[in-house]
Amino acid sequence: MKKSEVLRSLKINFANKALLYIILLTGVYIVLFPFAWMLSGSIKANADVFEYPIRWIPKAILWRNYIEIWTSIKFGLFYFNTIKITVVIVILQLTTSSLAAYAFARIKFPERNKLFIAYIGTIAVPYQVYMLPQFIIIKKLGLYDTHTGYILLQAFTAFGVFLMRQFYMSIPEELSESARIDGLNEFGIYRRIILPLSKPALASLGIFTTVMIWNDFLGPLIYFTSEKNKTIQLGITLFMNSYGTDFALIMAAAVCSMLPILIVFFSAQKFFIEGIATTGLKG
């Protein structure tokens, strides 16, 4: 290749790269705009929230907004409720679905396929379809407007069993065989061999569930009517309805409602993104 040709291809390459970055950065701007605007608005005086051109760093920083939201509404209670519900559901979900998935993946028994199809079949049915009979069951059980009712609904999903089963299937059978020869029973194999190997899958399921429950809106909207039971997502809408024009406060509340989930995501994004990439495609 002549020197001028090399130079030209380098130039094209550079122009391509630059264009790529411009497009990507535009994307980043659109994606992050509401978050940045929310953060900046949350420490502004209410009158300055809509200032244009946008002043990203406010003249006077009002941390006070963050204190005010905890005192003007039962934000702390909503926070506590959400954490409690999320933790209990994640624990139930991880223990029961990893146990069930073990049987579906590693034990041969006659009704295995039939039972598993019952699980899989429900994955295709949208939640919005069976939420009505679910509501009636919970109401008849006297669990309407209780955390227990909501927890029971969310803890036993087909998705959890399916995800764990897919993972267990990928663990070589020889591992179980040699453990059986060493005299371990099925529970021992599950506890000592399979479970330690499935930390990544458990982490993925745990994070998925956490994000889903923390952000759930429709479920709490249906089930929690009394204020003492409400979760953070309902808290935000409650806040909006009672402080509709206190935009800075609403923004501070919005930031607080998202912060824990963003921290969870950034500290464990590997499990999350890889979980989607693998199970998503197999789903």
Partner 1 sequence: MEQIIDQYESQKRKLNATMRNRLTAYAFILPNFLGFVAFVLVPVLASFVLCFTEWDTSNPIQFKGLGNFLQLLKDDAFITSFWNTVYYTGAVVPLTMAVSLGLAVMLDKKLKGAKVFRSIFFIPYIASLVAISVVWNMIFSPEAGPVNSFLRSIGLSEPPLWTSSVHWAMPVIIFVGIWRFVGYYMVLYLAGLQGIPRELYEAAEVDGATAWQQFRKITLPMLTPTTFFVVIMLVINSFKVFDQIMVMTQGGPGRATHVLVFYIYYRAFQVFEFGYASAIAFVLFLVVLTITIIQFRMEEKWVKYM
The footprint of partner 1 on residues 263-282 (CB under 8 A) is 265-266, 269, 272-273, 276-278, 280-281
Q: Is 122 in the site for partner 1 (CB under 8 A)?
A: yes
CA 37 to CA 139: how far, in whole Å? 42
- Residue of 109, 181, 183, 241 interacting with partner 1 (CB under 8 A): 109
Q: Is 110 in the site for partner 1 (CB under 8 A)?
A: yes
Q: Is 253 in the site for partner 1 (CB under 8 A)?
A: yes
Q: Which residue number, 77 or 278, has a Cβ lying nearer to partner 1?
A: 278
Q: Is 166 in the site for partner 1 (CB under 8 A)?
A: no
**Quick one: three-class SS letters along the chain?**
CCHHHHHHHHHHHHHHHHHHHHHHHHHHHHHHHHHHHHHHHHCCCHHHCCCCCCCCCCCCCCCHHHHHHHHHCCHHHHHHHHHHHHHHHHHHHHHHHHHHHHHHHHCCCCCHHHHHHHHHHHHCCCHHHHHHHHHHHHHHCCCCCCHHHHHHHHHCCHHHHHHHHHHHHCCCHHHHHHHHHCCCCHHHHHHHHHHHHCHHHHHHHHHHHHHHHHHCCHHHHHHCCCHHHCCHHHHHHHHHHHCCCCHHHHHHHHHHHHHHHHHHHHHCHHHHHHHHHHHHHHC
Q: Which residue number, 126 or 196, has a Cβ lying nearer to partner 1?
A: 126
- Residue of 26, 127, 180, 242 interacting with partner 1 (CB under 8 A): 127
Binding segment for partner 1 (CB under 8 A), chosen from 62-70, 83-91, 195-203, 231-239, is 231-239
- Residue of 43, 85, 90, 236 interacting with partner 1 (CB under 8 A): 236
Which of the residues 22 through 51 are near partner 1 (CB under 8 A)?
23-24, 27-28, 30-35, 37-38, 41, 49-50
Q: Is 195 in the site for partner 1 (CB under 8 A)?
A: no
Least separation in angstroms between residue 37's CB and partner 1 is 7
Q: Which of 160, 184, 178, 182 is nearest to 102 (CA)?
A: 160
Q: Which two tokens stand for residue 218?
A: 């429709």
Q: Is 85 in the site for partner 1 (CB under 8 A)?
A: no
Q: Which two tokens stand for residue 85?
A: 């519900």
Q: Which residue number, 62 or 216, has a Cβ lying nearer to partner 1?
A: 216
Least separation in angstroms between residue 174's CB and partner 1 is 19
Which of the residues 132 through 151 are near partner 1 (CB under 8 A)?
132-137, 139
How many residues form the binding site for partner 1 (CB under 8 A)? 100
- Residue of 88, 115, 175, 195 interacting with partner 1 (CB under 8 A): 115
Least separation in angstroms between residue 199's CB and partner 1 is 19
Q: Which residue number, 62 or 153, has a Cβ lying nearer to partner 1?
A: 153
Which of the residues 175 through 194 are near partner 1 (CB under 8 A)?
185-187, 190
